[in-house]
Amino acid sequence: MVRDTHIIYKEDALYPALLRGIPDAPARLYYKGTWAEELFTDCLAVVGSRHMTSYGRRVTEQLVGEVASRGVTIVSGFMYGIDVAAHKAALGAGGKTIAIMPCGIERIHPEYQEDIYWRILETGGLVLSEYEGDSMPAYWTYPKRNRIVAGLSKATLVVEAGLKSGSLITAELTRMFGRKLFAVPGPITSEVSKGTTKLLKEGATLVASSDDILEHYGKKRASGQASGRASGKNDLEQKILDALQQEPFEVDLLARTLGMAASTLGTTLSLLELQGIIKHEGGKYYVD
């Protein structure tokens, strides 16, 4: 039964090899779900701010959804914000995801995400913890949890992070373990982009599309395969693209042309630029 609790020990053959190789690997893992070796073949840790912006949500939904749909298991910490957005995106794409809990295995934390918790288990994912029972999380269990998130994964993706974010701890652990570190660029005016900007300045690989991640896993789309970059656009995105296909626009003029405030366009323009669909040069946006 997926709801039953099981234990796997570090000495067991099925204990994930990548995790066994890190310093202070957990001596045992408590888990719910069906343990399958293939879940651990290609794992990507996805972390970010609990104070997720609409930009962060949309970037997570797109990047994680596309990566998970190609067979990469998404690993995250189940907290509100980027963590749970990553779990949801993986589930929405028909992929697999693993939630690493900072509390006892018998506790759902946060409890209001119970529906996502059971969806993870019922679709072939796992919930893991190094703590038995229903113990509450403590301030020190979160960073300890982060070493498992990073340790299971070939790479870590940081979507949004403040300068004091716990996501930067996971990023540092990723570097310490010799794994690949990816970061998503964000608006330099955003507090939750300052941490990712710092990581990029320190050498993290900039992610502009899911292909940047998939290439690391040997799963990059074949030439000519549809990427979905120009499909599935919402009404605002399509209006922007229709206008920019006619001529490049500065943001203020584009806003007047579309009859809306420039502030309304900011997130959508950033997302389209991140996807590589439009570019911003010389103060103007244009279709790439």
Domain range spanning residue 73?
Answer: 5-217
Q: What is the CATH number of the domain that holds 197?
A: 3.40.50.450
Between 89 and 273, whose confidence is greater? 89
Dihedral sign from CA coordinates of 180, 184, 188, 191 = negative
| Whether residue 164 has pLDDT greater than 70 | yes
Same domain? 256 vs 122: no
For the sheet containing 155-158, what is the strand order? 5-9, 28-33, 126-129, 97-100, 73-76, 43-47, 155-158, 180-183, 205-206
Average model confidence (pLDDT) for the chain?
91
- We report the CATH number of the domain holding residue 267 as 1.10.10.10
Q: Is 26 part of any domain?
A: yes
pLDDT tens figures, 215-265: 999 987 544 444 444 445 678 888 898 888 888 899 999 988 888 888 778
Q: Pick from 191, 165, 169: which is nearest to 53 by CA?
A: 191
Is residue 141 within 8 A of residue 28, CB to CB? The reply is no
Instruction: Name the residue among 99, 150, 146, 101 with its Cα closest to residue 120.
Output: 99
Q: Are residues 184 and 260 in the same domain?
A: no
Letter for the amino acid at 273? E
- ∠ CA 260-274-280, nearest 5°, is 65
278: in domain: yes
Question: What's residue 230's pLDDT?
Answer: 44
Q: Which residue has the higher pLDDT, 149 or 228?
A: 149
Residues 267 and 154 in one domain: no
Tell me if 228 is assigned to some domain: no
Domain membership of residue 84 (yes or no) is: yes
In a domain, 151, yes or no: yes
**Whether residue 208 is found in the same domain as residue 67:** yes
Examine residue 67 and state whether it is found in any structural domain, yes or no.
yes
Q: Are residues 135 and 275 in the same domain?
A: no
Q: Is pLDDT of 288 > 80?
A: no
Q: Do 15 and 99 sit in the same domain of this protein?
A: yes
**pLDDT at residue 225, rounded to an integer:** 45
Q: Residue 227 falls within a domain, yes or no? A: no
Please indicate, yes or no, whether residues 116 and 164 belong to a single structural domain of this protein: yes
N- to C-terminal Cα distance for the chain? 50
Going by C-alpha positions, the residue among 274, 153, 287 that lies closest to residue 211 is 274
Same domain? For 63 and 170 the reply is: yes
Residue 187 sits in the same domain as residue 257: no
> Residue length, the chain?
288
- Report the pLDDT value the prediction gives residue 236, as an integer from 0 to 100: 85
In a domain, 224, yes or no: no
Looking at the predicted structure, is the pLDDT value of residue 167 above 90? yes
Number of domains forming the structure of the chain? 2
The percent of residues in the chain predicted with pLDDT above 90, rounded, is 69
Residue 163 · residue 213 · CB < 8 Å: no
Residues 187 and 240 in one domain: no
Please check whether residues 153 and 37 belong to one and the same domain.
yes
Query: Does residue 186 sit in the same domain as residue 264?
Result: no
**Boundary-marking domain end, from 172, 188, 217:** 217
